[in-house]
Structure 1
Amino acid sequence: MQERGAVRDSNPGTHRQRASLGVIVLTVFLDLLAFGMVIPLMPLYADAFRASGLAIGWLLAIYSLMQFLFAPIWGRLSDRIGRKPVLLIGLWGSAAAHLIYGLAGSVTVLLLARALAGVAGANISVAHAYVADITKPEDRAKGMGLLGAALGMGFVVGPALGGVLSQFGLQTTPLVAAALAGINAIMAMVILKESRVPTAAPYKPYVHPLAVATWQHAVKGVGVALLVLVALLSMTAFSAFETVLPLFGKAHLGWSMTTVGWFFAYVGILIVLVQGGLIRRLIPRLGESRTASVGLALTALGLLWMASLPGVVGLYLVMIPLALGVGMTNPSLSALVSLNSAQAEQGVALGFYQSASSLGRVLGPLLGGGVYQYAHGAGGALTAAAGIMLLAVLLFLGVAVPRLSVRRALRQSAAH
């Protein structure tokens, strides 16, 4: 008899495991594709409804804020009832959010649609838990890398497709995104297999992510808590860079928003190449901890280089170590969180990891924009981002790594 709360079919050599991994990667790609399609239209909708600068800021921030609040909820719920039902809730929620967005007649409705999209999109942590269920510990980072590549491709292709569809009317893009999300949900209902037997353990009520009791329950190992903090710092630094780049490009290089968009696509493609291919070769040679260490260091060096405000050629060159660092860091950190968490806590632990990343996407723009406006411009903002990334490097190498137990987790997996 199979133990309740156990994963189903975690042998990476089986056809079913490969098929399940392919399905979840496709599901995540289509979900992020639909989400990315509406991003370029946000300023257009805001202009159409004569939104204030504060309202535009909330349109950008509320999605990540909802992810921060709800990622642990979905993760814990998936530990109890299984991954597939929670993934389907998120996919249908995304379809509804895009539909509301397309039919919105006011800024208030737009905010509600974005909030719903953030709640639904918070279940990306469940997709990570699904990958953790169906992969062996030594293959965990490879699976996380494929998931990261799917996320990156969705962000790269989605805005481009949304821009093309916007030529047929402002409502066309979000309505097509809603249809795409709905089709994705139906495909997941039919094709996606459950990766985890639901547990009979009593459901524990949700507590705010910042509450000490929640951290004590979900992040029982000190190493995992430190990994979550490293994720928060690294995402804050990278999000600050994303905020400052358009300002720097416009002020110092005379870039249009179209040029900025193509540059972000270039960065996204570099990250996808790393997470979808290179990470498979690096992890077996370096291991998760060393790969994350190198990735964090490269990201910090890239931000320091960019703080010197290079010209166009230099800017394209600096993106190589920066994108390489980000592409190495994210799959390695998420794999380490999974490897150092109890099997019954995979969903909620990865939920906290995603929640920290979402909080970083809220704090980063505030840091980057604030330093840019009130301190020392792009150079000062990028230097501050590099300083935060260096702090993440020191925290990871000096404090987190000695407390991780990846080797023990691998031995336990081999014993089973």
Structure 2
Amino acid sequence: MSWKRPSTSLCAFLTLLNDRLGESIVFPLLPFLLASFTDNGRTLGLLAGSYAIAQFAVTPLIGSLSDRFGRRPVIGICVAGSVVGLSLFAVTVSIDWQAIPWAAGTSLPLVLLFAARLIDGVSGGTAATAGAVLADISTPENRAKAFGLIGVAFGLGFILGPAFGGLLSQTNVTLPVWAAAAFALINLLLVLLLLPETHPPEARLAMPRKRDLNPLIALQKVFTNPQVRRLCGAFFLFFLAFNGFTAVLVLYFKQAFDWGPGLAANAFLVVGVVATVVQGGLIGPLVKRFGEWRLTLAGLGFVIAGCLLVPMATAENATRVVFPAVAILALGTGLVTPCLRALVSRRLDDSGQGAALGSLQGLQSLGSFIGPPLAGLAYDVVGQRSPFWLGITVLAGVAALVAGGLPRRGEHAPDPF
């Protein structure tokens, strides 16, 4: 192993960690950070979804740019964008806008917050490029092990983000956002100083046609494939429902139970721990025992159960009900996401894998954009508990779509008894 390899792997790992850490620090604190600007669910939902739509729009372009111009400049620009987005968000929520005569009562702070989220979302294509770096420096037989770093980084991000966010928010609610911006800056410095180029000039590819960079075209192709159309629809609706009610979850905690940022962040910490344990250690043995099809349906049942428990909690028993409920939600999500991906993968031959699995990421981002504003609208217009009932209804439809597709070749559902 050359001296460059450890620094390359380290930079790729920290870039993946930064991609998740910034989001998992900010997201559980959004209602508290926005308290002086707005308290309605629609704005919160749009702000939560803006990151996802920006990422959805530019991820194909970022991947193509890294193939054409190399990994290092693309990762550097994206991480710099993350620094700018997080710093703009931190500055905006730290300013006392009412003390500025020309800005008091205007929508300027919200415009800046949306701009910050969009910049951070556009820069979120780092995950795909960091994964390409790991592929560049790995031999085919070691590639699975190298890609394991992606799961480790994402799992750590979902655990460390809420943990640090909850801890730092006890001092000041804006401090976690500054910490996220500082981590992104450290990531940028390491990329500039340590990351070598892993994609040599002779391996560079020409830029594809503009049509091929349109993310909607890729989704159109996958929905014309009868083998996976039903399951891809289920995948999209699952993330629409799940990201919808989770977008207003902290706002609900704040307004229904009078929770502070510490308790809200701890709830997401539980989600991160449970999801990491399930996807990092349990999913393999469970798939061998029960098969992806049954685990997908079981996971949907867990998510629906968790979604039912949350609105049943009262201010008196909130901690006793909510923490088990979000653990059940995380368990279900940890089962559904990898198993549903595997079901799609098994229905395709090798030549269709890359396009279809890339489209699943696009469907996840699109669902993550549409779901939060819909849930926020329901929260404001229908009632605080309505996003959970809406989510349960959509999840029941997802279960019907999955159950309607009987297991096919390789999708064994062995008898558990």
RMSD across aligned C-alpha pairs, in angstroms? 4.6
Q: Percent identity?
A: 25
- In the TM superposition, what is the alpha-carbon distance from 1:182 to its structure 2 partner? 1.1
- In the TM superposition, what is the alpha-carbon distance from 1:121 to its structure 2 partner? 0.8
Match of 2:401 in 1: 395
1:7-406 map, 5 Å: 24-39=12-27, 58-77=46-65, 86-102=74-90, 107=109, 108-126=111-129, 145-146=151-152, 148-160=154-166, 163=169, 166=172, 172-173=178-179, 175-186=181-192, 189-190=195-196, 198=203, 200=205, 203-206=208-211, 211=216, 213-216=217-220, 221-309=225-313, 311-312=317-318, 313-335=320-342, 340=348, 342=350, 346=354, 349-378=356-385, 380-399=386-405, 402=408
Q: Aligned letter for 1:315?
A: V
Q: 1:300 to 1:41 in 2, by over 3 A?
A: closer
> Which whole-Å CA distance do the structure 1 matches of 2:378 and 2:250 have between them?
15
- In the TM superposition, what is the alpha-carbon distance from 1:383 to its structure 2 partner? 1.8
Q: 1:88 to 1:38 in 2, by over 3 A?
A: same
Q: Deviations over 1:169-193 (max 9, x none)?
A: 7984365234233135347724x95
> Which whole-Å CA distance do the structure 2 matches of 1:306 and 1:41 have between them?
18
Q: Aligned letter for 1:393?
A: A
Bigger shift: residues 384-393 or 257-266: 257-266
Q: Report if aligned partners of 1:33, 1:157 keep a CA contact under 8 Å in 2.
A: no
> Which whole-Å CA distance do the structure 2 matches of 1:126 and 1:225 have between them?
28
Bigger shift: residues 179-188 or 81-90: 81-90
Q: Deviations over 1:293-344 (max 9, x none)?
A: 4323322233234454474323322333221111122233445556647568
> Which whole-Å CA distance do the structure 2 matches of 1:115 and 1:250 have between them?
25
Q: Report if aligned partners of 1:59, 1:114 keep a CA contact under 8 Å in 2.
A: yes
Q: Aligned letter for 2:121?
A: G
> Which whole-Å CA distance do the structure 2 matches of 1:43 and 1:318 have between them?
20
Q: Deviations over 1:65-84 (max 9, x none)?
A: 21122233334555667766
Q: 1:362 to 1:258 in 2, by over 3 A?
A: same
SS at 2:382's partner residue? helix
Q: 1:334 to 1:95 in 2, by over 3 A?
A: farther
**Number of residue pairs matched by the alignment:** 386
The two structures have a TM-score, normalised by structure 2, of 0.71
The two structures have a TM-score, normalised by structure 1, of 0.71
Q: Deviations over 1:100-158 (max 9, x none)?
A: 44566863444333211100114434556777897889969977754542442354345
Match of 1:7 in 2: none
Q: Aligned letter for 2:266?
A: W
- In the TM superposition, what is the alpha-carbon distance from 1:395 to its structure 2 partner? 1.5
> Which whole-Å CA distance do the structure 2 matches of 1:187 and 1:165 have between them?
33
> Which whole-Å CA distance do the structure 1 matches of 2:205 and 2:254 have between them?
56
Match of 1:413 in 2: none
Q: Report if aligned partners of 2:29, 2:261 keep a CA contact under 8 Å in 1.
A: no
Q: 1:371 to 1:295 in 2, by over 3 A?
A: same
Q: Report if aligned partners of 1:128, 1:350 keep a CA contact under 8 Å in 2.
A: no
Gaps spanning 5+ residues in structure 2: where?
96-107, 413-417
Gaps spanning 5+ residues in structure 1: where?
1-15, 408-416
Q: Report if aligned partners of 2:167, 2:262 keep a CA contact under 8 Å in 1.
A: no
Q: Aligned letter for 2:305?
A: L
Bigger shift: residues 140-149 or 255-264: 140-149
- In the TM superposition, what is the alpha-carbon distance from 1:206 to its structure 2 partner? 4.3
